[in-house]
Amino acid sequence: MRAAVLIPCYNEEKTIGKVISDFQQELPEAVIYIGDNACTDDTVQVARAAGAEIIEERRQGKGHMVHTMLRDVNADIYLIVDGDDTYRATDAAKLLDPVRDGSCDMCIGNRLSGYQPGSFGGFHLLGNRLIRLITNRLHQVDIPDMLTGYRAFNRRAVNELNLIMGGFEIETEINIKCVRSGLRLQSVDIEYGLRPEGSTSKIRTVQDGYRILLTIFMLLREHQPMTLGGMIFLGFNLLAVIAVISGIIDQNIWIFGLGILISLTGSIALICGIILHAINISHREIEEQQNNSLDSLLRTGPTVQEKEQV
């Protein structure tokens, strides 16, 4: 079984040599790929000297780098890990074994049960828990660590995922789309350490947090448009009721009319959600029929007439 270790990097010259060495020791059978996400330091030179393969992606963003690596690397099983030496190569087997033996299609490393003091800021922990809560409520995705950068996939998962996000929201997109695609997920506890001295985080807490939340709602539009339409309908009609009552009390026709307009807008959003939901169901039925037809063809093989023709 061909294994590939994918390490997306942006300016990790301080740590990448040790990361490559650790994984070479733990997984001597695997090919190690470094993602050069427009690095401006000596990351690529250090990685090449350590024996890793280099894959380039000029578009800035971890999501873009992950897309390119999954597209360009042909393997049976993939292990993705950050290049900052906060994850341990000794945990690789925990992630790979359930995928290798067919227990799951993707195995996720949960950092929140075994992290070193100081490796997380309080705001980061709060944000992770908030994202987990929102994703669970809206997408029925219950993963202990939504933002972990350490996970293993099989080939089926890579083929099923159609990833579009370009930044650190890529982990959230992967989690939600795996669940929506019916892939089997598993989570294992891993160790998470402090960044070595001289290594700096590339995460922008507020900006990237906003993009992750936006991704959650964008994927809700894609997978559950009726739910999103219903949320907009309820929110807009709450505002509409306030505006209408205020218009009546103040005898202001403009505020009253604004309330009616807001209510109509919410109703349109609900109708659009219902229509998109029906279209989604139709597409899923067609896809399921195509998959069943393909499975049936593979099981039955060629007919007698086809064999005679051959």
User: Could you read off the pLDDT of 41-82 as tens digits, one per residue?
Assistant: 999 999 999 999 999 999 999 999 999 999 999 999 999 999
Q: Using one digit for the tens of pLDDT, what is the confidence trace for 256-274?
A: 899 899 999 988 888 887 7
The answer, yes or no, to whether residue 199 has pLDDT greater than 80, is no
Question: Which residues have C-beta within 8 Å of that of residue 109, sequence separation ≥ 6?
Answer: 87, 91, 94, 95, 145, 148, 150, 151, 187, 188, 189, 190
Share of the chain above pLDDT 90, in %: 47
Could you tell me if 39 and 178 lie in one domain?
yes
The answer, yes or no, to whether residue 231 has pLDDT greater than 90, is no
Could you tell me if 173 and 286 lie in one domain?
no
Angle, vertex CA 269, rays to CA 265 and CA 273, nearest 5? 170
Domain of residue 109: give its range: 3-220
As a whole number, mean pLDDT of residues 124-132 equals 78
Could you tell me if 162 and 242 lie in one domain?
no
The answer, yes or no, to whether residue 28 has pLDDT greater than 90, is yes
Could you tell me if 211 and 117 lie in one domain?
yes
Q: Which helix (H) or strand (E) holds 259?
A: helix 253-300
| Number of domains composing the chain | 2
pLDDT band at 187 (very low <50, low <70, confident <90, very high): very high
Q: What is the DSSP letter of 196?
A: P
Could you tell me if 205 and 235 lie in one domain?
no
Could you tell me if 81 and 68 lie in one domain?
yes
The answer, yes or no, to whether residue 188 has pLDDT greater than 90, is yes
Count of C-beta atoms within a 10 Å radius of residue 303: 9
What pLDDT score was predicted for residue 205? 65
The answer, yes or no, to whether residue 114 has pLDDT greater than 90, is no
Listed residues 220, 243, 278: the one ending a domain: 220
Q: How far is CA 63 from CA 35, 72, 302, 305, in A?
A: 11, 14, 42, 49
Global pTM value: 0.73
Could you tell me if 216 and 228 lie in one domain?
no
What pLDDT score was predicted for residue 300? 62
Listed residues 220, 242, 257: the one ending a domain: 220
Could you tell me if 146 and 188 lie in one domain?
yes
Q: Using one digit for the tens of pLDDT, what is the confidence trace for 297-309?
A: 655 655 444 444 5
- Which tokens is 34 given? 């470094």
54: nearest Cα among 95, 83, 96, 26? 83
Average pLDDT, the chain: 84
User: Is residue 110 within 8 Å of residue 144, measured between CB atoms?
Assistant: yes
Instruction: Label residue 44 exposed, middle or buried (CB < 10 Å: 0-12, 13-18, 19+).
Output: middle
